[in-house]
Structure 1
Amino acid sequence: MKLRRNIAVGIAALVVIGAVLIFTSGNPARRSAEKTRRELRQQGFKTDLSDFNFSTSPELLQREQAITNATFGWNTWGNDYQRRSFLNQESPDLMNAIASDAALVVWRQARLPGREGQDLWPQFRELFADDKILLDAAYAAAVSGPIRFELSAQHGMNMLLRHLPGIKSLAQTLGQRATVELHDGDAHAALTDLIASTRLVTAWEVEPAEISHLVRFGCVETVFNTTWQMLQTNRWTDEQLARLQHEWESVTFFNGLPETAAFNRAGSVAACGQYLKERDDGVPFMELVRSPRNAWSNLKYRWQQNRYRSSGVYEDEKALLLHFRDREMEIREAIKQTSWKEMRSLPGVTNFIPFTSKHPSPVQARLNTKQLTMGFLNEGYSFLGRAAEAETRRRLLIMAIALERFHAWHGSYPQTLSELTPELLTQPPVDFMDNKPLRYRLAANGHFVLWSVGLDCLDNGGRLPTRPRRSPYESYPGWSRVRQDTDIVWPRPASDAEFHAFHMEEVKAAAVELDRTEDMLATNWWNHTVRQQLRFQRSSVAQSAGKSVEPKVHGRRLSDMLRNEIVSGTNQLSLDEMLTLKQIVTGAEPEVVTFELPISYNALTNLEATVELYVDPVADNDSDEGCQAGMIECKPAANGNSLLSWYTIFEAPGTHTLQAGLDLTEPLAPPGEIIGPFHEFTVSNLCQFSIESARFNPEIGATARGKLPELEGNYSFEIIGPAGNLLSTITGNTTNGSIKVFWDLKDEQGVRCTNNFYNTVLHVTLPASGRSQTLKGP
C-alpha cells in the first residue's frame, strides 16, 4: 500500500513538472501559425470562416423551400416512402446504349417494362399526378431567378448540406416526368420540366463545398440524358430551343472551384481552434492511487495530448494553411488551361495530395474521413476530372441544340459543324478534352452522332459506354461514369430493329440469371422444409402449443371483434377456438387442403388483419428459418367465415404439425403472438414443387421444379390452357430425385401462348417402390 502511494505521488510530481515546462517555455509554434495566417491574408487568401457568408434573401429562401419541398415534402415512411423507393428502383435509364453509338428513345416505347414485367407508364403517371402541386411549385421557383441555399459557414467542416439529396432527386424526377409527358403527347409540359431541370444546374450558385459541386456535375449528366430524350422529337419551336441553348451558354463550372480549397482551409483551421476549446479533465488523482500501472499509460497519452495542445495543434494549423494555399493555387492554375489534356499534366489535378500531420492529429483523421467519402462520390475520377466532364457535356449540349435548330430551318442536318456559324453559333465549341473540334458524323437513318474523346483523350469513334442491366429499361446505379475505351457521346436514336435485337439479348441474359437464381431458391426451400420438419419433431414445442393472450383492440376483446354472429349466434368463442383448424372437403385435395375458421371474413378485412399458417413451428425460429407455409389463400366462406386454403404441393411429404396465426397491422399488433392450437396433418404428395414454379415470365417462359421422395422417377408434365385444352406435354425421368421442366410457352403446333395463367398436371411413377400419382401442379 505504501509503495502504491509513493508511485502515485511520483507520477503526480511528474505531471506538475511537465505542466510547468510546457506552459512556461513560450509558444513559438503558435506565433509561427499566427504569422503565416497574417501573411496569407495580406496575399488575399481567406483563412477564417468569417470570410464566408452564405446567408440569403427572403426571396431566395422562398425559392429554396419550394425546391427542397418537392422531394423533402415526402414522408420517410408509408406510401411516400414506397413512392420514393419506386422511383429509385424502377426509373428508366434515359441514356440506354442499344448499339455502340445509338440509345433507346424511352418515351416512344408503347410499354415500359418493370422488374416484374408490368407496364410502368400508368404507375409513373399516377405518381406524378399526386405530386403535381409540389413539382409545379419547384418549376416556378427554378425559372424565377438564381438558386442559392441558406447555410451556416461557421460550422465549417460540419456544415450541413441538407439540400443536396433534394437537388439531385428533383433533377431526376423532373426528367422522368418530362419523359412520361412526352410519351403522353404533352410536349409543352415536357419542355417545362426540361427547362426546370436545366435551371437546377445553370441557376444554382453553388456553395464552396466539393460535394456540392459534385452533385451539380451529376445533375449535368442527368439533364444531358433528359435533353437527349426531349430532342428526339421535332415539336419544339426555334424560340424554345434558343432559350435552352442560351441557358447552357451562360453557365461555367470552373470559376467557383478554387473557393472550395479556401473554405477547406478556413474550416480545417477552425477545427484546430475548436479542438483547443474541448475540455481535458486529465487523470483523476484517485485513479493514480487505485491503479498506478494503468494510470501510467493513461498519463502518457494525456502527456502527448497536452504537448499537441500546446504546440502540435499550431504546427498543424500552419501546415493546413499552407497545404490548402497550395491546393487553391493548383486549382487556379488548372482552370486557366484551355483543355483537359493540358490541365491533367499539372500537379494536383489527377492525383489527390493528402494532408499529412507530424502528430496523431484528430483534424487529419477528419480530413481523411472526408476524403474517403469524396473518393467514393468521384467514382475513381478526380474532382477536376468530374468538372471537365461537366464542361464537355455543356459544350455537347450547345452543339446538339444548334444542330436541331439547323435541322428545323433546313430540313436536314449540316454536313459539317462549321455550317452552324455564324447564324446559330459565333464559333463552334471545341472539345474541352483535347481542344480539337467536337467529332461529328451523319448517320444512315438521317440522324447524327456527336461526341467528345473523354477523359482519356483517345477517340473511340463515338462509342457509348455499356452497363450491366437488370432489364432493357432499368438504370444501374454506380455505373454512370464513362469507362475507358469509350467517349462522351450524344448518340443517334436506335432503330426498331436494333432495339429488338438488343432486347432479345437482354432476355436471354435475364433467362440465364433467373434460372440460376430459381435453382438456388428451390434447393433452399426443399432443404428448409425438411430441416424444419425434423427440428419440430426434436423440440419440446411438439408437446403443447400453449395459449395466446387475448389482446384488446379499440377497447374490445379481439375475439368479440372477429366473431361471425351469423354462425355463432350468442356463443362466445375464445380466440383459441377461432384459430382451431378444421378441415373441410372441397374436392381439391390432396394438392389443396382447406380449413374453415369461425372468424368473420369481413371483420378480418376491416381490421386489415391476415391469417397465417405455420408449418412445424419451433419457438426459437430466427428470421432466416421461418415456419410460414409456402403458399396459402384466405377467402370468404358462404356463411361469412374465413376459409384458409393451403397448397400442399409446396410442402415436404410426411406428417406435419400446423398452427393458425393472426397478424395485425401496426399499431393494433399486440406485443405477443396470436396463435391457435396444433393440428396434425400428413402430406401424401409424391412431388414437392418449388415456390417459384407458381410463376412464369411471359418473355422467357415457365420452369417447374420438383423434388421426389425417391432418387429414380418417371414423369409426364401436361400444360393446360384456361379453356381446358391441352397445350403441351413434356416427359422425362430423373436419377437424382429432382424434376426440372421448361416450357417455352408454345403449344404443340409451335404457336406462342399469351394467356396470363395456365394449369398443369403431373403424372409421376417411382419404380423403386412402385408408387404412382397424378397431381395438379402449380
Structure 2
Amino acid sequence: MINLKSEREKQSRRSRSGWLLLWLPIVPAVGLVEQRSWGQAALENWKQQMVAKGETFDAVRLWPPASARSVEFSKQLAQVTKTLPGRLQIYAGGMSGIIPDESGKARRGSQEPFPPINHHCVAVDEGYTWQDLDKLLQQSQPALQRLLELLKDPPTGIDYDIIKRQTTDSLPSFVAHRIAAQTLCASAINNLHRGNLEGATQDLQALRSFGKVGEQDPTLISLMIRMAIMGMSIDVCWDALQTDGWTEPQLAGLQRQCLEVTNVLSQLPRALEAERIARIYELEWFRSHSYPEWVARFRVRYAGSGWQPVPTDEATAVSLWRQGWLNRSWTVAWSEPEELKYMQAVQLELQALREVPHTLSALRLKEEINASRQGYRVPGAASRFYIKLPLADSYNDWSAGNQTRDSSYPYPDYSGAWFVVIKNLTLNEMVRTAIALKRYGLKYGKSPSDLAALVPDFLPGLPHDLMDGQPLRYRLESSGGFTLYSVGEDFQDDGGNAVASTTNGASADRLAWNGKDLVWPRLLPSD
C-alpha cells in the first residue's frame, strides 16, 4: 500500500528545495541593488553638501576653455624648438649656473674652463667647448630671438579642451617647454661666460616668464613643469648675481619677474581639485567597462613609459577574481561608497592646502596632512572594494617615486609635489631677496644690517621662509658679506649650515640646495 501522507511530504520537501534554490541567487542580488541605491544616495547627498560650500566636481567649471592665443603660442613654441640644432641640446640639457662643493660654497658654472655638461666641470670630449657652444647658439639666433619675443607677454590660458582630453584619453606634452627653457638656460650661462650681462638678463627674464605660461591650467603636471623651469632659473640667477656691472633698472626688472608666492600657493588646492575630478572620471569609466578593458586601457596609455604593472594586478588568480565576482558586485553596489570614502579623505587634504597661502608654512602643512592620514580607517569588509585602483594607482606611485610609501593611506600621495613647490618658492624668495640686497649694495656700497632695511624701498615686506612660516634668516658677516638662508626641509634652524647631511641621491646641481639649511651659496674664491 502506498503511504499517501509520506509521498505528499516528499513532494512538499522537493517543492521547498526548488523554491529555495530559486531564491538563493535572488536574495544577494536584491541586497546588492538595495546597497547600490543607498550608496548612490549617500554620495549624491555628500556632493550636494560640498557644492553648497563652494566645491566643484565638474571639469568644465574648474578648467577654463581653450584659449586661441594659448593654442597659437604652443604651436609657435613647438615650431621654434624644432629648428634648434640637436647638438645644442647636449649642452642645454645638462648645464647649471651653480657648481657646489662639499663645504656648501659654490663656483660659477659660467666661469668653468669647460661648459658644465651634466654638472661636470671637465670636457665630455675635446669637442665640447665654450667655443662650440657659442657657435651653436650663434647659429640659433633666429630661434632664440623668437623665443624672447614669445615670452615677453606669454599667455596664461590653456591650449586644449578638457572634455576632449578625457574622452580621447590623451596625455599632455611639454617637450617644447623643456627644450625652450633649457636652451634659454644655456644661452644665459654662455652670455655670462662671454661677459654679456645684458644678453644674460634678457635670457633670464624670458626664462622666468615661463612661470606664467599656462598659469590657468589646474593640472598638477602643468604646475610641476612651471616649478621645474623656475628651478633652472634660480641657479642661473645665482651665477648672474655674482658678477659686477649690474644697473638698478636691470636688477629691478629682474626682481619684477619673480613669481608672487601666494598666487602660486593658491594653485596647490586647485591642482588637487583637478586630480580629484580626474579620479571621479576614472571611477565612472571603470563602472561602465569590464576589468580586461580597464587593463588594456592602461597598457595602451602608458606604453613606452618604462612602467611595469605591479605583479599582483596581473596575477592570474587576482585577475580571475576581479573579472568575476568582485568587478560585477563592485560595479552594482560598492563603487559609489568607494568614491565617497575617497572624496572624504581628499577633502581633509584640500582643507590643509587651502590654508597654505595664509600660513606660508610647509611645516604646518606637513603636520595637517599627517594628522588627516593618521585618521584614515580602512572600510569594513574591505574585500568589497578596490581602494587602490588597479594599475592606475601603481603607475601614479611609480611616476612620483612613491613605490615604497606608507601603505596605510591607500590613495595617490601628492605630498612630495606640494613640498617641491614650496621649496622652490622658498628659493624664489631667496632670489628676490638676493636681488634686493644687490640693489641695496649698489645704492649704499654695503650690505644692510638686517632684512628690515630693505623694506619698503627694495622689498614690499620681509621675505618669507615658506618652510616654517617665519621670515628668511639673514646675518651680516664681519667680512661685509652676508648669510641668507631658510631652515630647510628638516624645519630646524642650524645657523645657516649649508653642508648636506646626506646627498639623498640628489644631482650635483641640487646639492647646492641640499644642506641642513637652504643657504644662498657663498662664492668660492678663484684659484
The TM-score bracket by the shorter chain reads: 0.7 to 0.9
Structure 1 residue 257: Cα displacement: 1.0
Structure 2: gaps (5+ residues) = 1-20, 116-121, 294-315, 406-412
* Corresponding residue of 1:493: 523
1:128 to 2:131 alignment: no
Report the equivalent of 2:161.
152
Structure 1 residue 31: deviation in Å? 2.8
Instruction: Check the 8 A contact 1:49/1:270 in 2, yes or no.
Output: no
Q: Distance in 2 between matches of 1:490 and 1:259?
A: 31
Change (3 A) 1:27 1:126: same
Partner of residue 287, structure 2: 276
Note the residue ranges of structure 1 that are not aligned, 5 or more in a row.
1-11, 283-293, 470-474, 498-778
Q: Deviations over 1:299-355 (max 9, x none)?
A: 994233211111122222222332322221221134431433433322348979999
- Deviation at residue 23 of structure 1 after TM alignment: 7.7
- Tell me the amino acid that sits aligned with residue 177 of structure 2: I
Q: What's the CA shift for 1:225?
A: 0.6
| 1:136–1:409 CA distance, 2 compared to 1 (3 A) | same
Residue equivalent to 1:360: 386
Kept in 1, the 8 Å contact 2:498–2:515? The answer is no
Distance of 1:210 and 1:354 partners within structure 2: 24
Identity of aligned residues (%): 20
Cα distance, 1:338–1:64 mapped onto 2, change above 3 Å: same
User: Could you say which residue in structure 1 is the equivalent of 2:124?
Assistant: 115
In the other structure, the counterpart of 1:41 is 51
Structure 2 Cα separation of the partners of residues 261 and 435 of structure 1: 22
Matched, 1:397 2:431: yes
- Kindly report which structure 2 residues correspond to 1:601-750, keeping only aligned pairs within 5 A, or say none: none
Q: Deviation string for 1:374-408 (max 9, x for gaps)?
A: 24599997333223212211211111111111122
Please say if 1:193 is aligned against 2:181: no
Partners in 2 of 1:125 and 1:23 — Cα distance?
70
Aligned to 2:250, the other structure's residue is in SS state: helix
User: Residue 55 of structure 2 aligns to a residue in which SS?
Assistant: coil
Structure having the higher strand fraction is 1
In 2: Cα distance, 1:109 partner to 1:276 partner: 58
Residue type at the aligned position of 2:458? L
2:273 is aligned, of 252, 262, 268, to 262
Deviation at 1:278, TM superposition (A): 2.0
C-alpha displacement of 1:209:
2.3
The answer to whether the Cα contact below 8 Å between 1:450 and 1:490 also exists between their aligned partners in 2 is yes
The separation in 2 between residues aligned to 1:375 and 1:353, in whole angstroms, is 24
Contact preservation (8 Å) 2:227, 2:424: yes
| Counterpart AA for 1:416 | D
- Partner residue of 2:331? 309
Task: Encode CA deviations 1:223-265: one digit per residue, 9 max, x unaligned.
Answer: 1111111112232321121122122264532111111222222
**Which secondary structure state, in structure 2, belongs to the residue aligned with residue 230 of structure 1?**
helix
Q: Assess, with a 3 A threshold, how the Cα gap between structure 1 residues 412 and 431 changes in structure 2: closer, same or farther.
A: same
Q: Is the 8 A contact 1:261 1:325 kept in 2?
A: no
Corresponding residue of 1:421: 455
Partner AA of 1:138 in structure 2: L
Note if 1:232 corresponds to 2:242: yes
Q: 3-state DSSP class of the match of 2:485?
A: strand
- Report the Cα offset of residue 215 of structure 1: 2.6
1:372 aligned residue (398, 403, 406)? 398
1:532 — aligned with what?
none
The answer (yes or no) to whether the contact 2:69–2:155 under 8 Å persists in 1 is no
Report the residue type matching 2:493 in the other structure: D
Specify whether residues 68 and 490 from structure 1 end up closer, same or farther in structure 2 by C-alpha distance, changes over 3 A only. Answer: farther
- For residue 223 of structure 2, what is the aligned residue in structure 1? 213
Instruction: Write out aligned runs for 1:331-346 (5 A).
Output: 331-346=353-368
Q: Quick check: 1:97 aligned with 2:63?
A: no
Deviations 1:259-308 (A, max 9, x none): 122222222111121123325899xxxxxxxxxxx99x969942332111
Partner of residue 585, structure 1:
none
Q: Which residue number in structure 1 is paired with residue 345 of structure 2?
A: 323
Partner of 1:84: 89
Quote the Cα distance in structure 2 between the aligned partners of 1:483 and 1:380.
Answer: 21
CA 1:129–1:419 in structure 2 vs 1: closer, same or farther (change >3 Å)?
Answer: same
Q: Deviations over 1:711-746 (max 9, x none)?
A: xxxxxxxxxxxxxxxxxxxxxxxxxxxxxxxxxxxx
What letter corresponds to residue 106 of structure 1 in structure 2? G
Q: Is the 8 A contact 1:47 1:321 kept in 2?
A: no
Q: For residue 173 of structure 1, what is the amino acid of its counterpart?
A: T
Q: Aligned with 2:124: secondary structure?
A: coil
Q: 2:369 and 2:421 mapped to 1: Cα distance?
A: 16
SS of alignment partner, residue 449 of structure 2: coil
Give deviations 1:186-215, integer Å, cap 9, x for gaps.
222211100001111255515222233223
Cα 1:319/1:481, change in 2 over 3 Å: farther
Contact 1:22 1:310 in 2 (8 A): no
- CA-to-aligned-CA distance 1:515-545 (integer Å, 9 cap, x gap): xxxxxxxxxxxxxxxxxxxxxxxxxxxxxxx
The separation in 2 between residues aligned to 1:400 and 1:188, in whole angstroms, is 19
Secondary structure at 1:96 match in 2: strand
SS at match of 1:336: helix
Per-residue CA deviations over 1:601-636 (Å, capped at 9, x if unaligned) read xxxxxxxxxxxxxxxxxxxxxxxxxxxxxxxxxxxx
Report the AA paired with residue 107 of structure 2: L
In 1, the alpha carbon distance for the partners of 2:291 and 2:102 equals 64
Closer, same or farther in 2 for the Cα pair 1:481/1:185, shift >3 Å?
closer
SS at match of 2:98: coil
Q: Where do 1:539-550 residues align within 5 Å?
A: none
Structure 2 residue identity aligned to 1:460: D
Pick one of 161, 168, 179 that aligns with 2:172: 161
Structure 1: distance between partners of 2:473 and 2:348:
36
CA distance in 1, matches of 2:453, 2:513: 32
Alpha carbons of structure 1 residues 59 and 347: separation in structure 2 relative to 1, 3 Å: closer
Q: State whether residues 349 and 372 of structure 2, in contact with CA within 8 Å, keep that contact through their aligned partners in structure 1.
A: no
How has the CA–CA distance of structure 1 residues 479 and 308 changed in structure 2, closer, same or farther, with 3 Å as cutoff?
Answer: farther
Contact 2:361 2:467 in 1 (8 A): yes
Aligned residues: 461
Q: Secondary structure at the match of 2:429?
A: helix
**Cα distance in 2 between the residues matched to 1:102 and 1:302:** 61
Larger radius of gyration: 1
Q: Distance in 2 between matches of 1:20 and 1:346?
A: 42
Aligned to 1:763: none
CA distance in 2, matches of 1:204, 1:447: 39
Change (3 A) 1:86 1:239: closer
Label 1:361 to 1:399 Cα distance change in 2 as closer, same or farther (>3 A).
Answer: closer
TM-score, structure 2 as length reference: 0.75
The AA in structure 2 aligned to 1:222 is: M
Corresponding letter in the other structure for 1:35 = N
C-alpha distance 364-314 of structure 1, shift in aligned 2 (>3 A): farther
Look up the equivalent residue of 2:273 and give its one-letter code.
A
CA contact (8 A) 1:177 1:190 kept: yes
Aligned-partner Cα distance in 2 for 1:300–1:178 = 55
Q: Which amino acid aligns with 1:326?
A: L
Equivalence for 1:182: 192
Cα distance between partner residues in 2 of 1:481 and 1:156 = 39
